[in-house]
Amino acid sequence: MRNKQWWATVTLTTAVLAAACSTTTPEELAEEYDLSQATDEATSDDDDSLNYAPNPDPTPLDFDSDTVIGALDNGLTYYLRDNDSPGSSIQLRLVVHAGSVQQEVADSGVAHFLEHMLFNGTDDFPGNDLKDTLESLGIQFGPELNAFTSYDETVYELWAQTDDEATVDTAIQVLAQWASAATIDPAEVAAERGVVRDELRQRTESADGRIFVDFIELYTDGTGYEGSSPIGTAEWADTMEEAPLRAFYDRWYRPDNMAVIIVGDVPVDVLEEKLIDAFSEISARGDDHPTRTVVTPAISPNPVAEIITHPENVADNLSVDFPFTTWDQGTVGGSKLIVWETLIAKMLTRRLTNAWFDETLNSDNEPYLAEFSLNRGLRYYGSNLESSDLGATLKQYLAILRGAADFGFTEEEVADAVAEFGAGIDSWEASLGSTQDADYAWWYTNHFLTGIWGEPEQAWIDREREVIKSVTSNQLSDHWRWSLATGGPIMAAVGADATTLPTITELLEIAETTVGSAPTSDFETIDRLMDSPEPAEPTNSYTVLQDAHVWEFDNGATVVFQQTDIVDGSISFEATSMGGYSALDDVSYAEAALASNAVIGSGVGPHSPTQLDQFLSDKSIGISPVIFCEGEGLSGNADTNDIETLFQIYHLLMTAPSIHETAFRSAISSGQVLLDQLAADAAIAAELELRYMTYRRELNSRVPTQGEVDSATPDSLLEIFVSRFGTVDDLVLSIAGDADADVVGKLAAAYVGTLPPGPDDSFTNQLAPARTEVVTIEVPLRGDAENGGIAWHFDLRADWDLNDAMTGRVLETLIQTLIIDSPREDLGASYGGSVVVTPWSVPIERMDLTIQINGDPERLDEIRTAIFVGLTDLTENGPSQSAFDRAVAVLRADYDFVSNYTFTAQNAEAVSGFGGGAITTINRNRELDQVSPADVRRLAARLINFETYGEVARVPA
């Protein structure tokens, strides 16, 4: 139940509403989005399957009556919803129905550059006032945090707390200013060129980035999207002027082409009045108001092949993508076909995976068939294959996919896919009471742009249940057969040298001549993983923090559970033991990672990977192991209904792990690729050098050596895994979520309390010796890469307390603002960067500060000078009161959001007893209240030592 808030005194008269807005009906929306297509889907018997063609029912889906959708007299559409998850906050969106495909010059990047400019000043918030205002609302400004530009749209995102009415008013005012009052000052445009140029540099001017650009050209060739990549080109970024930005702004940022979305913990009538006040007087600027054209690329049945090379590419691979129709998901028929195609992808992925484990599909990586969309008009299902003979692998791959078309899907395959899809629906239904504000905001963004995702959630669930209940193997077989016939594969072989790749002619010949193979999925299915062990009685039980239940067992394991209602029907967990690879003789970080990857890609206990995959098809479970320097652990999540299965998998990974030969080869292949990338990618080399500022070089690289790759065997990797996970001594398993404590306690007794105990062990200190002088490392950029950057590491090897930990969070936020203000906004030399201040308890108590900034490789000296001036000011003078207050506001806003992992982490720390204390949901606001600017100055002076820091820079070759 809500407490009485400021809005309780607000009244809204219907006369005010009637004067300013009108309600848009679903029928009017259907007409607006031109949803009139053909009639029902065609179905076919076997005799008619060759004549099959989808004919989707164009009936629009109902719109959620719990959401207010309306339009102002000026044409602005709005969506409003009262929602209390997470509570005490609202999500706001300004959606502009225009992106890079609307640019007058396709490759100009004007839409994207304009997005940047909207953060550089409006009439009411000139210059940096906007950034300061956002931070005062608790919103950390930074790259990718507040907006994005795509081919088809531009979206601005805000979040605000609702405790103070003025905060809500300001957030709405910011959206209104973006919509109508951007200054686009010529001086600011000139200053932003370097920022946009560095974004291009980081995204497109590494080896991977240049290959990505080649893929974009391949996908968009011959379509209405050709040449209009949102990010633009370096030539345009370097010379951008006010005029094209102003023209795009006036042409497309007009009320009838925009929507405002507000979802959160404020009554809708209050939001509606505020929105009307802020937006009703906005009008279109200028006279050039074109009608938006919809790009509808044609799908070709002919295969397409391309060779993409870059000398720094490290692993030959083959991308195979099938173009699919972009159905109108806002209709009964279009949404139905999306479900069908999802089921088809699940069945084909299962066939590919089975063939991979059976070694009839020779790929170094586990295959899949995944959906992705490049933009609103280009949609694909595709795979990426790696092998030493890409031509042979392609032939095997296509034979499997075409076999499904030639021989059809079996009833058993359909049943498994339906069960898996149904498990997802069940999980969604269980969480209906906790749908987050951000989810609704995303759905309504898409509804405005395309007419999809406006349906009531329960109706959506019921409709999809009916679809999977009624679908037949013949229908799915026919639809897949039709999809293959109408959309030829787009094949791109990628490598460092074209001589090691199949030729275009060879690829096309394989695509044209490969015939389908019959499915070979004969394996014994299982209906359970294991019997429940006889439970072990806890030796102790108690509660900690916010009534988290704790059970201690004789084998040394401790289980802690926090009941939450953050996500209905779901739990999260993390399990940690001390020791890690540092407790083993001559085992490296990289070898431990190879072991974890190989085990998690295999089966458990007596069950093969294919058996486990089939058994889990109707369950929602994720679990991942890691062995780090000072410990090891597993983490993941599960639906509440699947919690016992999660405990069983956990138990079997601890007691009966295995490594399948195929999973071993995949892990080794990934290790080899990482090793090859180290030589080809300066970013990876720089990342390792930064790690060596903390840890000794020996055994602490995440990249394996050639010797480690060559000498690894399934048995050697399994031995590493078992040595860390095979027994327990100080295990802490922390669980949080929507479950019953009695149930968790019983499962813990059966599956954790019965794990085999082992001898006490612990980590060894692998830290590098404390620096006594400045250490600088320069990593030359490889080849034609221009993604420069610079990073620093400062550390303080001393005890810390709760005040230090919280002061470190404030310092971190202040330095993040410094990165934005100085090298980005003042110099225009960087797109952005990151900063982390971390208090550590193992292997010794210490705090460290890591700053990483991407930037123009020719201007790293300027970036260093600017950052060090700011850091020096913090160490000598501390932050100004206004800067400090904004940093505190950002942190306080962050603390309003919690997840299940918030509780798993704090409860694990509470029962482990490490460190100078933990910041928890109980104490964090209280501790934040105790921090002062003087505390920040004192910690900065201790932590930021300009005589002993480490620096790693990616510099021109």
Q: Identify the pLDDT of residue 424.
A: 94
Residues 584, 671, single domain; the answer is: yes
Residue 567: partners with Cβ closer than 8 Å, 6 or more residues away: 431, 434, 737, 738, 900
Q: Which of 18-32, 235-249, 830-844 has the lowest mean pLDDT?
A: 18-32
Instruction: Give CA torsion, residues 692, 697, 701, 707, to 10 deg.
Output: 160
For residues 315 and 10, give the distance between their C-alpha atoms in angstroms, rounded to a whole number: 63
115 class by beta-carbon count within 10 Å (0-12 exposed, 13-18 middle, 19+ buried): buried
For residues 673 and 687, give the distance between their C-alpha atoms in angstroms, rounded to a whole number: 16
Tell me the three state secondary structure of residue 5: coil
pLDDT tier at 136, thresholds 50, 70, 90: confident
In order, the DSSP letters of 656-675 are SB---HHHHHHHHHHHHHHH
Distances in whole angstroms, Cα of residue 233 to Cα of each of 198, 201, 207, 286, 614: 11, 10, 17, 28, 47
The structure tokens listed for 401 are 């996919």
> Which ranges of 682-740 does DSSP label H, i.e. alpha helix?
682-692, 706-711, 714-725
Residues 780, 741, single domain; the answer is: no
Place of tokens 């080809």: 680
The structure tokens listed for 630 are 């000072």
Q: Of the candidates 459, 494, 513, which is a domain's last residue? A: 513
Neighbours of 303 (CB within 10 A): 19
Average of per-residue pLDDT across 242-268: 98
Residues facing 951 on adjacent strands: 776, 792
Distances in whole angstroms, Cα of residue 323 to Cα of each of 306, 483, 561: 16, 8, 46
- Confidence check: pLDDT of 46 > 80: no
Tell me the three state secondary structure of residue 324: strand
Residues 838, 918, single domain; the answer is: yes
> Vertex 212, ends 194 and 365: CA angle to 5°?
140
For residues 873 and 779, give the distance between their C-alpha atoms in angstroms, rounded to a whole number: 29
Neighbours of 598 (CB within 10 A): 29
- Confidence check: pLDDT of 239 > 70: yes
pLDDT tier at 40, thresholds 50, 70, 90: very low
Residue 8: partners with Cβ closer than 8 Å, 6 or more residues away: none
- Confidence check: pLDDT of 37 > 60: no
For residues 737 and 147, give the distance between their C-alpha atoms in angstroms, rounded to a whole number: 31
Residues 658, 740, single domain; the answer is: yes
- The per-residue pLDDT of the chain, averaged, comes to 92
> Which residue type is seen at 150?
S
> Which residue type is seen at 658?
S
Residues 249, 309, single domain; the answer is: no
Residues 179, 212, single domain; the answer is: yes
Q: Of the candidates 716, 736, 751, which is a domain's last residue? A: 751
Tell me the three state secondary structure of residue 221: coil
Ramachandran assignment for 917, one of left (phi > 0), alpha (psi -120 to 50 degrees), beta (any other): left
Among 321, 317, 350, which residue's Cα sits nearest to residue 419? 350
Residues 508, 557, single domain; the answer is: no
Q: Identify the pLDDT of residue 36.
A: 31
Q: What is the span of the domain harbouring residue 196?
A: 6-18+67-279
For residues 551 and 688, give the distance between their C-alpha atoms in angstroms, rounded to a whole number: 40
Neighbours of 3 (CB within 10 A): 7
Q: Of the candidates 513, 530, 548, which is a domain's last residue? A: 513
Number of domains present in the structure of the chain:
4
- Confidence check: pLDDT of 715 > 50: yes
- Confidence check: pLDDT of 33 > 70: no
Residues 231, 312, single domain; the answer is: no
Neighbours of 785 (CB within 10 A): 25
In 268-350, which ranges are E strands? 304-309, 317-324
CATH classification of the domain holding 711: 3.30.830.10
- Confidence check: pLDDT of 160 > 80: yes
**pLDDT tens track for 112-133:** 999 999 999 999 999 889 988 9
Q: Is residue 525 part of a domain?
A: no
Average of per-residue pLDDT across 571-585: 97
For residues 143 and 157, give the distance between their C-alpha atoms in angstroms, rounded to a whole number: 12
Q: Is residue 244 part of a domain?
A: yes
For residues 765 and 579, give the distance between their C-alpha atoms in angstroms, rounded to a whole number: 10
Q: Which of 389-393, 582-586, 920-924 has the lowest mean pLDDT?
A: 920-924
pLDDT tier at 50, thresholds 50, 70, 90: low
Average of per-residue pLDDT across 188-203: 96
Residues 495, 563, single domain; the answer is: no
Q: Is residue 29 part of a domain?
A: no
Average of per-residue pLDDT across 77-94: 96
Average of per-residue pLDDT across 132-155: 85
Overall residue count recorded for the chain in this entry: 957
Residues 473, 389, single domain; the answer is: yes
pLDDT tier at 291, thresholds 50, 70, 90: confident
Average of per-residue pLDDT across 916-932: 89
Residues 826, 736, single domain; the answer is: no
The structure tokens listed for 264 are 């959160």
Q: Identify the pLDDT of residue 66.
A: 95
Distance of CA 318 to the CA centre of its chain: 24
Average of per-residue pLDDT across 265-287: 96
Place of tokens 């000078």: 865
> Which residue type is seen at 715?
D
- Does the pTM of the predicted model rise above 0.85? yes
Question: HEC states along 75-141?
Answer: CCEEEEEECCCCCCEEEEEEEECCCHHHCCCCCCCHHHHHHHHCCCEECCCECCHHHHHHHHCCCCC
> Which residue type is seen at 764?
T
Q: Is residue 349 part of a domain?
A: yes
Q: Is residue 57 part of a domain?
A: no
Q: What is the CA radius of gyration of the chain?
A: 29
Q: Is residue 42 part of a domain?
A: no
The structure tokens listed for 770 are 């404390």
- Confidence check: pLDDT of 761 > 70: yes
Residues 747, 782, single domain; the answer is: no
Q: Is residue 54 part of a domain?
A: no
**pLDDT tens track for 369-405:** 999 999 999 999 999 999 999 999 999 999 999 999 9
**In this structure, are residues 445 and 150 in contact, taking their beta carbons and an 8 Å threshold?**
no
Average of per-residue pLDDT across 798-827: 95
Distances in whole angstroms, Cα of residue 770 to Cα of each of 773, 775, 950: 9, 11, 11
pLDDT tier at 19, thresholds 50, 70, 90: very low
Residue 551: partners with Cβ closer than 8 Å, 6 or more residues away: 538, 540, 541, 558, 559, 560, 745, 748, 749, 753
- Residue 497, CB half-sphere, CA atoms under 13 Å: how many? 2
pLDDT tier at 143, thresholds 50, 70, 90: low
Q: Is residue 440 part of a domain?
A: no
- Confidence check: pLDDT of 21 > 60: no
Place of tokens 């295969």: 303
